Structure 1
Amino acid sequence: MKSPSMEEHRRDAPRSIRCGVITLSDSKYSEFMKKGGIPESDISGRTLVDVLSEDYSVMDHIIIPDDADRLVATINQLIDGGASVIFTTGGTGIGSRDITVETLKELFEKELDGFGEIFRHLTFRELGAGAILSRATAGVYRRTLIFALPGSPNAVKLGIELVVSELPHLVKHLRE
């Protein structure tokens, strides 16, 4: 059942949205530094850029190591440059170098709990109990939406498909 007010919000939502993509990975950052460009192995980052570019403006795709201070600085750089939406990929696991979720939760002014819940539900339907390892999350910081996705290309495809068409509606609410 469709909500008339939600449909009205979608109709009135902005179409011009600037996005940023951040890949967090020690190995991809090392490869990036050696080759001087986005490594071909960054399939997840490239997937985000490709899908977002179909309807929105991707202002930057940045690769950084798994480092909390670098993550915060990069997010602030993208927001200062005009990003309305930022997607991160990587660093959401349970390993000692996985710092994305803890770093973002300290920044978030509001969390979008439903994103992680739906993401894990869909992952469970596809993969079973291994979905409990997923810590995908989303929230708002400085009037900017931030979605943190795992580094797996399949997880990125699932996450971006979940929200890509809803981004204008979400950005509209941030701008009110």
Structure 2
Amino acid sequence: MKQEHVQSVSVTGGIITVSSTRTEKTDSSGKTIRTILAEAGIPVLHYAIIPDQIEAIRFELYQTLKTCNCIIINGGTGLTHDDCTIEAVTPLLEKKMDGFGELFRIKSYEEIGTSTMLSRAIAGTIRGSVIFCIPGSTAAVTLATRMLIVPEITHILTHASK
């Protein structure tokens, strides 16, 4: 990667867990994301657990955008009747990063095989911030955060904030 494409950007993390059953005590995926971001020196300024409801997801996303430029939404990305994270977030994205979902599925395939086709991981930008929507399993958030998000977040934000 050419250095002129990456500028010094202050990254601030936000974590939103979408679940009707998890609590702060049982949200191992949210804790995992927080740990990985902390290891990378990225402060987490916002954390919330919200139910699988489109309006709740959108409201929390806009609240998080007030203080964070790297927002990771985990959970609610599956195919069950109440999974609606993708439906809530996709219409709000100004620019989509199709490569994120593609890479996530490639890496997931290496770990879990063909069931990765059920993954609806997406990413994109809103007002110069980047939003990642990923499955809520601990393995999925570890893969996405450690292997894809952290290594590229400064590069992504350099472009998104122009």
Normalising by the smaller structure, the TM-score range is over 0.9
> How do residues 30-49 of structure 1 correspond to structure 2 at under 5 angstroms?
32=23, 38-39=24-25, 41-49=26-34
TM-score (norm 2): 0.94
How big is the shift at 1:9? 2.2
Matching of residue 131 in structure 1 with residue 116 in structure 2: yes
| Residue aligning to 2:12 | 18
Secondary structure of 1:117 counterpart: helix
Q: Is 1:59 matched up with 2:45?
A: yes
CA distance in 1, matches of 2:127, 2:80: 28
In structure 2, C-alpha distance between the alignment counterparts of 1:163 and 1:77, rounded to whole Å: 21
For the residues of structure 2 that align with 1:159 and 1:146, how far apart are their CA atoms? 12
The corresponding residue for 2:3 is 7
What SS is found at the alignment partner of 1:26? Answer: coil
Aligned-residue offset at 1:102: 1.0
> Could you tell me how far 1:27 is from its partner in structure 2?
0.4
> What whole-Å deviation, never above 9, does each CA across 1:70-91 have from its counterpart, x for those lacking one?
11111111112x2111001100
What's 1:155 paired with? 140
Query: Percent identity between the aligned chains?
Result: 37
Instruction: Measure the CA separation in 1 of the matches of 2:84 and 2:126.
Output: 17
Q: CA deviation at 1:53?
A: 1.8
Contact residue 121 and residue 134 of structure 2 kept, 8 A: yes
Please tell me whether the aligned partners of residues 13 and 169 of structure 1 are also in contact (alpha carbons under 8 angstroms): no
- 2:16 match: secondary structure: strand
Structure (1 or 2) with the greater helix fraction: 1
The aligned residue for residue 173 of structure 1 is: 159
> Which letter does structure 1 place at the counterpart of 2:160?
L
Give structure 1 regions of 4+ aligned residues with deviation exceeding 2 angstroms: 6-10
Unmatched segments (≥5 aa) in structure 2: none
What is the deviation of 1:136? 0.7
- How far has the Cα of 1:48 moved from its partner? 0.7
Cα RMSD (Å): 1.2
The residue identity in structure 1 corresponding to 2:8 is A
Any unmatched runs of 5+ in structure 1?
33-37
Q: Aligned AA for 2:128?
A: R
